[in-house]
């Protein structure tokens, strides 16, 4: 068994990305993800990888576009205000069908906000953020271990679907230290094989004769009929992702649940503590934790409602964003209640317990 | 039968989308001829900008990326760092490079990225219909400077070659003219040198082409070259601003 080490989430996800074969990383410093860029600055030269501290978030995401267009595993990371700057690039990456991994260590907003943990970028991550009809695959970890595990999963998903993947964490997961166990690092041979998997479309060397190709990395198409076909093909892909890649965790979801809670990421840990306390008092409360927040586990939430369930309550570190997806999933069958905190304030288990008790 | 002139191999056999009298075709040809001569076509990647040359990704016979407005040097950085064994170039207009993409060009140059940037300066935004560019001359009328560019209000044109020549890292920077056959032949030598240095991984190379826009200037093609000679060349002086092959031992 591999050795467990105590690490911050920011460092763990960086280490896991390198182990997953990421050899190019471009980013701009921002709190609270500084340990991530610093870890990459330290470690990339040791694996003969590329680390560039870009002149801006905008430049960093466009470096990602270029590297991804060459079929390489490439990553960038930032925190909320910086992620906003990357949105133009993410739209281009999605439009050009490129694989890439982006980490968002969310902080309080809007604007410059603060540097405390938040989940206020949910809309931006799951509904768009950049222009045009596209989707990101969005994975939301709730522990340092899961954050690290998701790095390799994110690269695999990005490669499989040729689509950008976002790891949606927050300042708490980035800064918190927990024990983490890493998967073995990919060998140079394995990385070379990964690079070659994209050779039928990526930019690369050419040969005269039969092998001659002209690969274009592009999202421009002025003929609306052709562009519509392209967007429809993206949406066929998104349907496959919705069918195949929904991930979630059910905690104490039972037939006798009086209340069904929904929470993801850091918020889900606090809700889990709360329902464990309530269980001791004899209350049956379930929790569905979306692990992918896009594609969203709508059916799982709908199917977790039983005849005994009185209410669904959503807990978020925002003033209500995911609650809209839960309402769509519940589809009017039950009232959907909500507790959220903003500005980087994290609710306590007692606040969650009090909210649930209002309905018991 | 003897072939004495033909399309360079590095240009694809598809029609250009440029206006009659536009010099983009000439600039494309100089780059393509140099790629052929240096035998780098099969290991070159290019980046097209946003602007009139947005479709350049279709025209060059090598793998190409189309970049967001102004971001070509960042995209090229990602490409070059992924494939250091290949030659990477960008092709950008004045709005793309000297307005919205100012940060990207300055920092790619400052890092000494091993890429070649071809910068086409015709003092106007062509694709969007003739608006003021960062290189529009003082007094010059455009659709967004209808009373003439007022330098006191909006500043003077940016001299991109001179600006980049203040940095330590760039290896080669030269401004050339496309306004006459003689000047085109001189420009060709510079384009060839830039791509040769690129092939030899010597550092950042930059060619600024002084060009025209007959359509949006509202001047017929031949007269537009006279206009450019009388007006643009006074402000944007032709010449070499950096050539480390002449100053650094062995050119390395």
Residue B135 in tokens: 């290189």
Per the CB < 8 A criterion, the answer to whether A286 and A252 are in contact is yes
* Residue A311: Cβ within 10 Å count: 18
Q: Which chain B residues are Cβ-neighbours of A68 within 8 angstroms?
A: 78
Contact residues, chain A to chain B, C-beta under 8 Å: 24, 26, 50, 52, 54-56, 58-60, 62-72, 74, 88-89, 92, 96, 202-208, 213-220
Q: In angstroms, rounded to a whole number, what is the distance separating the alpha carbons of residues B171 and B194? A: 9
Residue B251 — very low, low, confident or very high, per pLDDT cuts 50/70/90?
low
Residues in A closer than 8 angstroms to B61, CB to CB, are 214
Domains contained in chain A, CATH given = 4-196 (3.40.50.970), 249-357 (3.40.50.920)
**Residue the block writes with tokens 């001791």:** A280
B chain contacts of residue A89, beta-carbon cutoff 8 Å: 68, 71
Q: How much is the average pLDDT of A224-230?
A: 98
How long, in residues, is chain A?
360
* B100 DSSP assignment: I
Q: Residue A70 and residue B75: Cβ atoms within 8 Å? A: no
Position with higher pLDDT, B247 vs A91: A91
**Distance between CA atoms of A82 and A64, rounded to whole angstroms?**
15
| pLDDT tens column, A278-318 | 999 999 999 999 999 999 999 999 999 999 999 999 999 99
Residues 6+ apart with CB under 8 A from B25: B16, B18
Cβ(B117)–Cβ(B89) under 8 Å?
yes
Phi, psi of A10 (to 5 degrees): -60, -40
Percent of chain A with pLDDT strictly greater than 70: 100
Residue A69 has its nearest CB partner, among B61, B79, B86, at: B79
- Closest in A26, A56, A71 to B103, CB measured: A56
pLDDT over 90 (residue A128): no
- A128: helix, coil or strand? coil
Looking at residues A117-124, what average pLDDT do you find? Answer: 98
Searching chain B, which residue's CA lies closest to the CA of residue A55?
Answer: B107
Q: What is the mean pLDDT of residues A116-131?
A: 96
Spell out which residues of chain B touch residue A58, defining contact as CB-CB under 8 Å. Answer: 71, 74, 103-104
Burial class of residue B13 in the structure, from the number of CB atoms within 10 Å of its CB (0-12 exposed, 13-18 middle, 19+ buried): exposed
Across all residues in chain B, what is the average pLDDT? Answer: 96
Domains and CATH numbers, chain B: 24-244 (3.40.50.970)
Question: Does the beta-carbon distance from B78 to A218 stay under 8 Å?
Answer: no
The distance of B99 to chain A (nearest Cα, Å) reads 15
Percent of chain B with pLDDT over 70: 98
| Mean pLDDT confidence for B155-179 | 98
Beta bridge partners of A261: A287, A313
pLDDT band at A210 (very low <50, low <70, confident <90, very high): confident
Q: How many CB atoms lie within 10 A of CB A259?
A: 25
* pLDDT, tens digit, 9 for 90 and up, residues A153-187: 999 999 999 999 999 999 999 999 999 999 999 99
pLDDT, one tens digit per residue, over A319-356 is 999 999 999 999 999 999 999 999 999 999 999 999 99
From B57, B80, B106, residue closest to A218, measured CB to CB: B57
Q: Tell me the three state secondary structure of residue B175.
A: strand
Instruction: Please give the Cα distance from A209 to B151 (Å, whole number).
Output: 54
Cβ distance of A66 and B47 shorter than 8 Å: yes
Among residues A322, A318, A321, A295, which one has the least CA distance to residue A136? A295
pLDDT tier for residue A123 given thresholds of 50, 70 and 90:
very high
Report whether pLDDT(B250) > 60: no
Q: Do B67 and A65 touch (CB under 8 A)?
A: yes
- The secondary structure element, H or E, covering residue A180 is strand A177-181
Mean pLDDT for B4-11 is 94
Q: Tokens for A272, please give them.
A: 């889990």
Min Cα separation A200/chain B (Å):
12
| Average pLDDT for A74-78 | 98
Give the per-residue pLDDT at B171.
98
B143 pLDDT higher than 90 = yes
Which single residue is written with the structure tokens 């998967």?
A183
Integer angstrom CA distances of residue B228 from B15, B225, B235 = 26, 5, 10
Amino acid B172: pLDDT: 98
Residues with Cβ within 8 Å of residue A34, at least 6 apart in sequence: A10
Do the chains contact at A58 and B79, CB–CB below 8 Å?
Answer: no
**Eight-state DSSP code of residue B166:** T
- Contact between B207 and B190 under an 8 Å Cβ cutoff? The reply is yes
User: Looking at the predicted structure, is the pLDDT value of residue A127 above 80?
Assistant: yes
Contact B109, B121 (CB under 8 A): no
Tell whether the model's pLDDT for residue B81 goes beyond 60: yes
Q: Note whether A59 contacts B71, CB cutoff 8 Å.
A: yes
In angstroms, the CA A170 to CA A17 distance is 18
Average pLDDT over residues A5-29: 98
> Is B21:B220 a contact under the CB 8 Å cutoff?
yes
In the structure encoding, which two tokens stand for residue A222, read together?
């002025």
Identify the DSSP state of B99: I
In A137-223, which residue ranges form alpha helices assigned H by DSSP? Answer: 144-161, 171-175, 188-196
Planar angle of CA B7, B44, B248, nearest 5 degrees: 110
Q: 10 Å Cβ neighbour count for A341?
A: 19
Q: Which residues contact A336 (CB under 8 A, 6 or more apart)?
A: A311, A312, A313, A314, A323, A326, A327, A330
Question: What pLDDT does residue A353 have?
Answer: 98
Among A235, A254, A214, smallest CA distance to A295 is for: A235
Mean per-residue pLDDT for A133-138?
97
Q: Which of A287, A305, A306 is nearest to A248 (CA)?
A: A287
Mutation pick from B74, B77, B86 vs chain A, by most beta carbons of A within 10 Å, is B74
Cα A87 to its chain centre, rounded Å, is 14
pLDDT tops 80 at residue B248: no
Q: Which of B57, B62, B65 sits opposite A66 (nearest CB)?
A: B65
CB contact under 8 A, B78 and A56: no
DSSP strand pairing (B239-243 vs B172-177):
antiparallel
Q: What residues in B contact A208, CB-CB < 8 Å?
A: 42
What is the mean predicted confidence (pLDDT) over A182-196? 96
For residue A67, which residues of chain B lie inside 8 Å, CB to CB?
78-79, 81-82
pLDDT at residue A1, as a whole number: 54
Across the interface, do B66 and A52 touch by the CB < 8 Å criterion?
no
Picking from B41, B42, B78, B199 by the largest number of A CB atoms within 10 A of its own CB, the best residue to mutate is B78
B41/A206 Cβ within 8 A: yes
Average pLDDT on B78-86 reads: 98
What's the pLDDT score for residue A208?
A: 82
Q: Nearest-CA residue of chain B relative to A89?
A: B68
Mean local confidence (pLDDT), A125-146: 96
**Secondary structure (3-state) at A203:** coil
- Nearest C-alpha in A relative to B82: A67
Residues of B within an 8 Å Cβ radius of A: 12, 41-43, 45, 47, 54, 57-58, 61-68, 71, 74-83, 85-86, 103-104, 106-107, 111
Write down the ipTM of this complex: 0.97
pLDDT at A211: 80
Is the pLDDT assigned to residue B228 strictly greater than 70? yes
Least Cα separation, residue A209 to chain B (angstroms): 11
Count Cβ–Cβ pairs < 8 Å, chain A vs chain B: 129
* Cross-chain residue pair A63–B78, CB shorter than 8 Å: yes
Would you call A65 and B75 a contact, using CB atoms and an 8 Å cutoff? yes
Q: Positive or negative, the Cα torsion across B213, B215, B216, B222? A: positive
Q: Do B81 and A220 touch (CB under 8 A)?
A: no
């Amino acid at each position: 068994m591999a050795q467990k080490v105590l690490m911050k989430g920011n460092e763990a996800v960086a280490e896991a990305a390198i182990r997953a074969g990421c050899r190019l990383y471009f980013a701009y410093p921002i709190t609270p993800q500084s340990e991530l860029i610093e870890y990459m600055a330290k470690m990339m030269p040791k694996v003969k990888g590329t680390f560039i501290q870009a002149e801006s978030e905008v430049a960093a995401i466009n470096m990602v576009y270029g590297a991804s267009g060459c079929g390489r595993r490439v990553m960038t990371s930032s925190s909320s205000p910086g992620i906003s700057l990357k949105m133009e690039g993410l739209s281009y990456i999605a439009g050009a069908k490129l694989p890439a991994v982006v980490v968002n260590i969310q902080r309080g907003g809007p604007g410059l906000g603060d540097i405390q943990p938040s989940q206020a970028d949910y809309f931006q991550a799951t509904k768009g953020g950049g222009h045009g009809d596209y989707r990101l695959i969005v994975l939301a970890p709730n522990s340092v271990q899961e954050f690290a595990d998701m790095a390799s999963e994110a690269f695999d998903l990005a490669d499989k679907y040729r689509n950008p993947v976002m790891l949606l964490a927050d300042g708490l997961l980035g800064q918190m230290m927990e024990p983490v166990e890493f998967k073995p690092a990919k060998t140079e041979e394995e990385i070379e094989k990964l690079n070659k998997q994209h050779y039928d479309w990526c930019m690369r060397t050419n040969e005269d004769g039969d092998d001659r190709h002209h690969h274009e990395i592009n999202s421009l198409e002025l003929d609306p009929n052709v562009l519509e076909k392209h967007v429809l093909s993206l949406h066929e892909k998104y349907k496959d992702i919705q069918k195949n890649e929904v991930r979630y965790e059910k905690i104490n979801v039972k037939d006798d649940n009086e209340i069904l809670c929904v929470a993801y990421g850091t918020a889900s840990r606090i809700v889990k503590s709360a329902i464990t306390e309530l269980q001791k008092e004899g209350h049956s409360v379930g929790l569905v934790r979306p692990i992918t927040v896009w594609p969203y586990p709508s059916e799982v939430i709908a199917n977790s409602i039983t005849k005994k369930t009185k209410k669904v309550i959503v807990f978020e570190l925002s003033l209500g964003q995911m609650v809209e997806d839960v309402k769509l999933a519940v589809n009017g069958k039950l009232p959907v209640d909500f507790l959220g905190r903003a500005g980087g304030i994290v609710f306590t288990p007692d606040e969650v317990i009090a909210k649930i008790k209002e309905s018991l | 039968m003897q072939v004495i002139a033909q399309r360079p191999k590095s240009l694809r056999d598809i029609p250009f989308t440029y206006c009659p009298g536009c010099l983009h075709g000439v600039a494309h040809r100089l780059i393509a001829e140099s790629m052929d001569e240096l035998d780098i076509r099969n290991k070159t990647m290019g980046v097209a900008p946003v602007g009139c040359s947005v479709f350049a990704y279709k025209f060059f016979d090598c793998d190409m990326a189309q970049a967001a407005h102004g971001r070509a040097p960042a995209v090229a950085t990602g490409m070059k760092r992924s494939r250091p064994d290949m030659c990477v170039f960008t092709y950008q207009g004045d709005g793309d490079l000297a307005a919205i993409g100012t940060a990207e060009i300055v920092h790619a140059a400052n890092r000494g990225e091993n890429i070649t940037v071809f910068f086409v300066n015709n003092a106007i935004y062509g694709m969007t219909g003739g608006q003021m560019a960062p290189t529009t001359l003082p007094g010059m009328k455009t659709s967004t400077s209808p009373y003439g560019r007022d330098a006191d209000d909006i500043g003077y044109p940016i001299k991109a070659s001179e600006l980049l020549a203040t940095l330590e890292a760039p290896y080669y920077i030269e401004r050339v003219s496309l306004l006459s056959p003689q000047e085109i032949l001189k420009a060709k030598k510079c384009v060839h040198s830039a791509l040769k240095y690129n092939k030899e991984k010597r550092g950042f190379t930059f060619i600024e082409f002084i060009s025209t826009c007959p359509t949006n200037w509202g001047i017929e093609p031949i007269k537009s070259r006279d206009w450019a000679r009388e007006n643009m060349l006074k402000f944007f002086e032709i010449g070499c601003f950096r050539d480390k092959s002449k100053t650094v031992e062995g050119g390395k």
